[in-house]
Chains A and B, each alone.
Chain A
Amino acid sequence: MPDLLLELFSEEIPARMQAKAADDLRRMVTDRLVAEGLVYEGAKAFATPRRLALTVHGIPARQSDLKEERKGPRVGGPDAAVQGFLKATGLKSLDEAKIQHDPKKGDFYIALIEKPGRATLDVLADMLPVIIRTFPWPKSMRWGERSGRPGALSWVRPLHSIVATFGLETETPDVVKFSIDGIEAGQTTLGHRFMAPAAISVRRFEDYEAKLLDAKVVLDPQRRKDAILTDAKQLAFAQGFELVEDQVLLDEVSGLVEWPVVLMGSFDPEFLSIPGEVVRATIRNNQKCFVVSDPKTGKLTNKFILTANIEASDGGKAIIAGNERVIRARLSDAKFFYETDLKTKLEDRLPKFESIVFHEKLGTQGERIKRIERLAAEIAPLVGADVEKTKRAARLAKADLLTEVVGEFPELQGLMGKYYALAQGEDASVAAASEEHYKPQGPADRVPTDPVSVAVALADKIDTLVGFWAIDEKPTGSKDPYALRRAALGAIRLVLENNLRVEVVSLFDKHSESIDETSKRLAQTGGQEQGGAYVVAIAYAAVSWNGRQVRENSVELLSFFADRLKGQLRDQGARHDLVDAVFALGGQDDLLMVVRRVEALGKFLDTDDGKNLLAGIKRAANILRIEEKKDGKAYDGAPDAALYSLDEEKALAKAMDQVKVEAGAAVAKEDFAAAMSAMAKLRPAVDAFFEHVKVNDGDAKVRENRLKLLNEIRAATRAVADFSRIQD
């Protein structure tokens, strides 16, 4: 079966867009083919800086013919119906219709419509221009003379030519005839911009790829990546060094060349006095070159590896020399920045934060740092951190944002703070917090363990969360511009992975007071737009929670945490309904204990005792719900022991008294497994009760008492969780 070759040749496509564009092209063309009834055998797409290419092989040469029977009016039916039928089917007269006999309903007309399949070549000629016109580039542009006319083509950069051929391997393929905005599809393309600029005539994918290779174009990005990586490793190895591998950089670099030529250059070793990360960031971000390390020390060496797009006539000497000059200039900038930074102590940078707005409703960075410091000091004793060290760490943690190096390389924030803190003789924990307090950034990121870092990291995240909650900037749907979900998840992981005991609602509530102070300040000094913040922030509603008055926002934030926790546990394979069952108890804001309860509950429910007890509790709850609804009253008082008439009632009541005491004691000791074991003892009594006791007794008093007894089951088991929230 025939194959399609398509190439869209343009000016340089941004490296970051190439992979997705190749994928989009394959998807759009093959989807459209299938929608046209043309099932293909395989497809592969490629991208270089100057071209998107696609091969689809094994496409039928034609669509199959379609035959369709259309039912018409009955024979002798009204003329209007007959005319409508003729018009709809395209028949000239009823002579062309068939008559279908039907003994029950009478005879009626049938039209046989045959729709011959089209040649795939024609289908392609129709669909390719549409795909090109609707191609989903993240950003596209107009160009040239035609850009002044309506309906001008838009492409990522000017599109110059199109190759589109279709045919069998054994024959000369046909050109898919179409033209788009003045570009006629054909079978001519160009080779490498500098090394083989002549036009190349191609027939099908196999000779296309081979001829491109002859013309110094490696079509397949994976082949370019492999070549760069192999050569780069080889070059480093030959000198006794090791390439510092960098997948993101490799992806980008392979999108900047059609013919990769890997070369090694060097720089003055004096630049190795700058932290390695700075050297790497300089060379990588600005110059898109790899760095090289010495396997003996694990440290960077004064070499770099560049990927050129050309086999230069001097073997690359001028290219290396040019790159070395640029890298020297860049590194001397970096060194200058670094050394300049070292001249100013971190604490001396702090006053500047007073004039930098963090958020118009949450005050300056200076205010934010003070809030974090205060909160971190509160948290310090809870996590076993030295209070003074924690305060200092919080005060200095963000100071590097104002340094030259971080201004140049924002991704080094925190890390530079650590270097500068160590350089000015700060305690190691204090210095480490500068880098660590941003962590964890995502689900894969490491969680800090040093208590000082933990305290500052937690304070940083809680300030963000409580702050944005106070000004009502909560995430909605997919919108989370301040990354509050990530902050909450980070806080949760900090607590759980460090086994911290903190009551988060209390922390939220306490920290809200710091936010209030900022709001008051803004209301007094700020303009109109800040005035609103004060109103929003102090117009909080107090709610009763766990027996005390707290802010509604704090409780809401807890439930935001509960949702994140559920997601986190679900990702680890736990049941999220168990989290609901624990939070439903109310007053649960010690996240570590919540998780312990959930774990114990999960294990218990895996046992027969657990499953049966759950069934019993649910049965009790169902009966209660039905009867309470019927009677319009709640049966939540204590049962009257004098009304027990059956042994099973008495046994259940006794078991419950015992379980309440035992489970309560176990919970008090935070031994949730023991609480579960205690609860398991209820099972025989519950089972026996349901087997032998009829709840809806004829005697109204007995019935009421038994309903109250059922209610007690639920109450007794609430020591650990609200079992009624657990799904079957």
Chain B
Amino acid sequence: MDAVPAHMRPERSFQGFILALQRFWADQGCVILQPYDMEMGAGTFHPATTLRALGPRPWKAAYVQPSRRPKDGRYGENPNRLQHYYQFQVIIKPSPPDLQELYLKSLAAIGIDSSLHDIRFVEDDWESPTLGAWGLGWECWCDGMEVSQFTYFQQVAGVECSPVAGELTYGLERLAMYVQGVDRVYDLNFNGREGAEKVTYGDVFLQAEQEYSRHNFEHSDAEMLFRQFSMAEEACQKYLDAGWKDGKREAHQMALPAFDQCIKASHAFNLLDARGVISVTERQSYIMRVRELAKACGEAWVHTEAGGAA
């Protein structure tokens, strides 16, 4: 923390907090990526996690991913529920033997002292039905608050992970609220300045939360979204079919563009779900449809160069 100016200290500013995490993981040899340029429900959907977790090649990456959970919108009225928030995602393949220690050091880097706080690894098995993925791990607690998700991926997109990747997901707002000592997400100091120069999380996002809540629950164009879902589904399959080199199922050349369509379909589904236009029984079948796309993309990916195909 030596040369960090006060406004960039993780306990003072949200952006400083993010940069501290990025710096820490950069020092561990991770590539620091920028957010994926598509709407998605969680950092796990980023191809740098979903696809890169597959295949034998080593991979270390860390990045912030804006995560959209249309159903979690509360019109800006709930102190900690948001329909758009940030996840900080770390993925390391194969999982290093000291991943827990690295995680604890990363907490120290953002100002959480493990001799003062009660840090615990509490069972939480992770499963994503839409991604056809599961893993074992924990939710990490700091003084009774869940601050991260820690998972050893066992299967992603229907493909066994070989070797296994370790995934860490930090809920940035929640952690920063803890470190800054505020109870309401909108009160987070974003830029670490005080007085007139201070910009809060609310200054940046409150209006967006209100507008998107209106959109997600009341006005989103369900008809269009249903069409978008189908179009993305069709396009995904089309790209997957076209991507097989020479029409043989040996090498694939378009796994990434196909996967983009899977991400699109998943987000359209999330919006439709928030809008309340999908019945309980239909819901299951939509989840299955996204999973089928994800699985087919995973299958294609392991036939690409980065996926480990010779």
User: Which residues from chain A sit less than 8 Å from chain B, CB to CB?
Assistant: 11-12, 14-16, 49, 139-148, 156-158, 160, 194, 256-257, 287-289, 306, 308-310, 312-314, 318-319, 321-323, 325-329, 332, 355-357, 360
Contact = CB atoms under 8 A, between A and B. Distances in A.
Contacts of B80: 329
Contacts of B143: 318-319, 321-323, 325-326
24 contacts: A49-B121, A141-B135, A141-B154, A141-B164, A142-B152, A142-B164, A143-B164, A146-B163, A194-B115, A194-B119, A306-B144, A310-B115, A312-B118, A318-B116, A318-B117, A318-B143, A322-B117, A322-B142, A323-B143, A325-B145, A325-B178, A325-B183, A327-B144, A355-B280
Contacts of B162: 147-148
A144 B115 contact: no
Please name the 10 residue pairs, one residue from A and one from B, whose CB atoms are nearest each other, closest first. Answer: A322-B143, A148-B163, A14-B123, A12-B121, A323-B144, A308-B118, A147-B164, A141-B136, A147-B163, A145-B94
Contact of A144 (B96, B100, B119): B96
A11 B136 CA distance: 11
Contacts of A309: 118, 120
Contacts of B135: 141
B186 to A, nearest CB: 14
B116 A148 contact: no
A146 B96 CA distance: 11
Contacts of B120: 12, 256-257, 309
A287 B96 CA distance: 30
B95 interface: yes
B56 A148 contact: yes
Given A49-B121, A141-B154, A144-B94, 15 more contacts: A12-B122, A144-B163, A145-B163, A147-B162, A288-B144, A308-B118, A310-B114, A319-B118, A319-B143, A321-B143, A326-B143, A326-B145, A327-B144, A332-B79, A360-B281
B247 interface: no
B118 to A, nearest CB: 4
Nearest to A320: B143
Nearest to A17: B123
A225 to B, nearest CB: 17
Interface in B173-197: 178, 183
Given A194-B115, A312-B115, A357-B281, A143 B95 contact: yes
B115 A313 contact: yes
Nearest to B124: A14
Given A325-B183, A356-B280, A148 B138 contact: no
Interface in B251-281: 279-281
A313 B115 CA distance: 6
Contacts of B123: 12, 14-16
B97 interface: yes
Contacts of A327: 144
A322 B141 CA distance: 11
Contacts of B183: 325, 328-329
Interface in B124-155: 125, 135-138, 142-145, 152, 154
Contacts of A325: 143, 145, 178, 183
B161 interface: yes
B144 A147 contact: no
Contacts of A11: 100, 121
Contacts of A156: 136
Interface residues of B, number: 39
Contacts of B144: 287-289, 306, 322-323, 326-327
Contacts of A157: 136-137, 152
A309 B281 CA distance: 44
Interface in B71-129: 79-80, 94-97, 100, 114-123, 125
B192 to A, nearest CB: 22
B219 to A, nearest CB: 22
A441 to B, nearest CB: 25
Nearest to A160: B97
B164 A144 contact: yes
B136 A148 contact: no
A697 B96 CA distance: 96
Contacts of A314: 116
Contact of B116 (A15, A313, A356, A357): A313
B133 to A, nearest CB: 13
A140 B80 CA distance: 34
Contacts of B122: 12, 15, 256
A360 B161 CA distance: 36
B77 to A, nearest CB: 10
Nearest to B77: A336
Nearest to A263: B118
A310 B161 CA distance: 35
Choose among B152, B280, B281 the residue with the greatest number of A CB atoms under 10 Å from its CB.
Answer: B152
A141 B178 CA distance: 32
A328 B123 CA distance: 23
B232 to A, nearest CB: 25
Contacts of B116: 312-314, 318-319
A144 B161 CA distance: 11
A306 B119 CA distance: 13
A139 B125 contact: yes
A335 B36 CA distance: 38
Given A12-B138, A313-B116, A141 B152 contact: yes
A257 B117 CA distance: 14
B152 A143 contact: yes
A287 B116 CA distance: 19
Contacts of B163: 142, 144-148
B183 to A, nearest CB: 7
Contacts of B56: 148
A309 B118 CA distance: 6
Contacts of A160: 97
Nearest to A11: B100
A147 B96 CA distance: 11
Contacts of B166: 143
A355 B280 CA distance: 8
B69 to A, nearest CB: 16
Nearest to A194: B114
Contacts of A319: 116-118, 143
Contacts of A257: 120
B123 to A, nearest CB: 4
B146 to A, nearest CB: 9
Contacts of B96: 144
A147 B118 contact: no
B154 A142 contact: yes
B145 A147 contact: no
Given A12-B138, A314-B116, A326-B145, A148 B79 contact: no
A321 B178 CA distance: 11
A139 B123 CA distance: 12
Nearest to A332: B79
A306 B145 CA distance: 12
A308 B117 CA distance: 9
Nearest to A261: B118
